[in-house]
């Protein structure tokens, strides 16, 4: 079955008594009853599949976990209450019985960087950073830091660099270091990091997976070597997604392929249009033939699916001018998030990378005139018209 069909069918239609629901119901029970105590004992022991307690398992959540596990080609998955809960848990699991040192990509979601420094740091975990697009420097940093785990993004937030994930995975495998990949921006339709050799993949399910701006959630998918530890940790600390959010995410995934295909096509046209505008200084887009990682994109991504995000800089602009431009937008939604059916625009300095110091942002290339556009599924002519009127008023 191709991945587009799996998004529609996988995980659903589990038998319930004498009937089979067409779609997975919302199960709200905190605990579950079995006719036989011996069977309940087997369920608790993980010798037989089935729910026993909501922190351990939930049928709605299990259906979601099963489809994401299949889409990412993993051994198992856990749906979490947020994307950051997923990343936190993944790092926690990867560092078990390993040196408490993390090598992180130097360009990442600001909250991930903040978590590594401000949450794991006081717990004794050291974090080093390196450029994952410079493989020689990245491997040297991994060796020098005596790293216990590596974390990178498939498409870096917000400047959209694309590291050679297969080569990074090979570096980590040679060093026997687990590789955690945040695959939120790419989705399994573009890249499946576990197939390339990664150990753990994370998603903010709030974004492309659910896709409609009505869910807060995350998903972790692990390979065989890491799933047992992941399941044990999650059954103990319970960072899990609730049944309502699980249902909405599961429903959203059914249209994932259609949405991402449209978003990628629209993003390509929007990026080309922005690049021709005199008020736009620079455009960042993974489908640009002049992208610094164009060879990697061509190697790893399917043809015509290069991502739905476009970042761009306004010429001679600062915070005031950016705010003025964004306030003029009429259809494009000025809100923090991405991957929704509607086009969203976000100001990294104010949102995703707010916690980084101005000097740190400047070193990373995140300037005060930079905006990130998550292109939706609207008619691309309407998206461009709205950007045009805001640029030219």
DSSP state letters, 73-116: T-SEEEEESSHHHHHHHHHHHHTTTS-SEEEEESS--HHHHHHI
> Read out DSSP for 163-204?
--HHHHHHHHHHTT--EEEE-TTTHHHH--HHHHT-SEEEEE
Active site residue 207: yes
Give the model's pLDDT for residue 393.
66
208 noted as active-site residue: no
Q: What is the pLDDT of residue 145?
A: 87
Q: For residue 17, how many other CB atoms are within 10 A of its CB? A: 5
| Catalytic residue (choose from 182, 288, 340, 386) | 182
Under 8 Å between Cβ of 32 and 51 = yes
> What distance in Å separates the CA atoms of residue 393 and residue 387, rounded to the nearest whole number?
10
Q: What is the pLDDT of residue 225?
A: 97
Task: Find the catalytic residue in 27, 56, 109, 247.
Answer: 109
Residues of the chain with pLDDT below 50 are: none
Which of 161, 192, 207, 259 is the catalytic position?
207
Let me know if 88 is a catalytic residue: no
Question: How far is it, in rounded angstroms, from Cα 205 to Cα 361?
Answer: 26
- What integer pLDDT is reported at residue 363 of this predicted model? 77
**Tell me, what's the pLDDT at 81?**
98
Note the pLDDT of residue 193.
98
| pLDDT tens profile 276-291 | 999 999 999 999 999 9
* Sheet of 333-334, strands arranged across: 280-284, 309-314, 370-374, 344-346, 333-334
Give dist(CA 33, CA 43) in Å, integer: 11
Is residue 323 exposed (0-12), middle (13-18) or buried (19+ Cβ within 10 Å)? middle
Q: Which two tokens stand for residue 349?
A: 């300095």
Could you say which of 55, 251, 328, 354 is catalytic? 55
Start-end of H helices in the chain: 3-9, 37-44, 59-71, 83-94, 110-115, 135-144, 165-174, 187-190, 193-196, 224-237, 243-253, 256-275, 294-300, 319-328, 358-364, 380-392
With beta carbons less than 8 A apart as the criterion, state whether 306 and 287 touch.
yes
List the domains of the chain with CATH numbers. Answer: 3-253 (3.40.640.10), 257-392 (3.90.1150.10)
Looking at residue 64, its pLDDT comes to 97
Residue with tokens 């929007």: 270
């Amino acid at each position: 079955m191709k991945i587009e069909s799996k998004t529609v069918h996988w995980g659903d239609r589990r038998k319930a008594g004498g009937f089979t629901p067409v779609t997975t119901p919302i199960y709200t029970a905190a605990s579950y009853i079995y006719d036989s105590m011996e069977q309940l004992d087997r369920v608790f022991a993980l010798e037989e599949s089935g729910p026993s307690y909501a922190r351990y398992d939930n049928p709605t959540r299990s259906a979601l976990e099963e489809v994401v596990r299949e889409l990412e080609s993993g051994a198992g998955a856990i749906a979490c209450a947020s994307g950051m809960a997923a990343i936190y848990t993944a790092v926690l699991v990867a560092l078990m019985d390993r040196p408490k040192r993390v090598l992180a990509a130097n360009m990442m979601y600001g909250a991930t960087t903040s978590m590594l420094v401000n949450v794991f740091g006081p717990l004794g975990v050291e974090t080093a950073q390196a450029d994952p697009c410079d493989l020689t420097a990245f491997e040297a940093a991994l060796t020098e830091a005596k790293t216990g785990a590596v974390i990178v993004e498939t498409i870096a937030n917000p400047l959209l660099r694309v590291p050679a994930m297969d080569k990074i995975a090979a570096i980590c495998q040679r060093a026997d270091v687990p590789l955690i990949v945040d695959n939120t921006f790419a989705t399994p339709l573009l890249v499946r990091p576990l197939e390339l050799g990664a150990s753990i993949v994370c998603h903010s399910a709030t974004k492309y997976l659910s896709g409609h701006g009505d869910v807060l959630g995350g998903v972790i998918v692990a390979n065989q070597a890491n799933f047992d530890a992941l399941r044990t940790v999650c059954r103990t600390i319970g960072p899990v997604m609730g049944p309502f959010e699980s249902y909405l995410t599961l429903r959203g995934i059914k249209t994932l392929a259609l949405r991402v295909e449209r978003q990628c096509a629209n993003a390509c046209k929007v990026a080309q249009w922005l690049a021709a505008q005199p008020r736009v200084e620079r455009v960042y887009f993974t489908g640009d033939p002049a992208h610094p990682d164009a060879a990697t994109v061509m190697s790893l991504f399917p043809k015509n699916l290069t991502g739905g995000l476009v970042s761009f800089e306004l010429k001679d602009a600062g915070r005031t001018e950016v705010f003025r431009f964004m306030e003029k937008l009429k259809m494009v939604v000025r809100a923090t998030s991405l991957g929704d059916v509607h086009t969203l625009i976000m100001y990294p300095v104010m949102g995703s990378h707010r916690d980084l110091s101005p000097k740190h942002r400047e070193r990373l290339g995140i300037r005060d005139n930079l905006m990130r556009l998550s292109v939706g599924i609207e008619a691309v002519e309407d998206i461009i018209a709205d950007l045009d009127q805001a640029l030219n008023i």
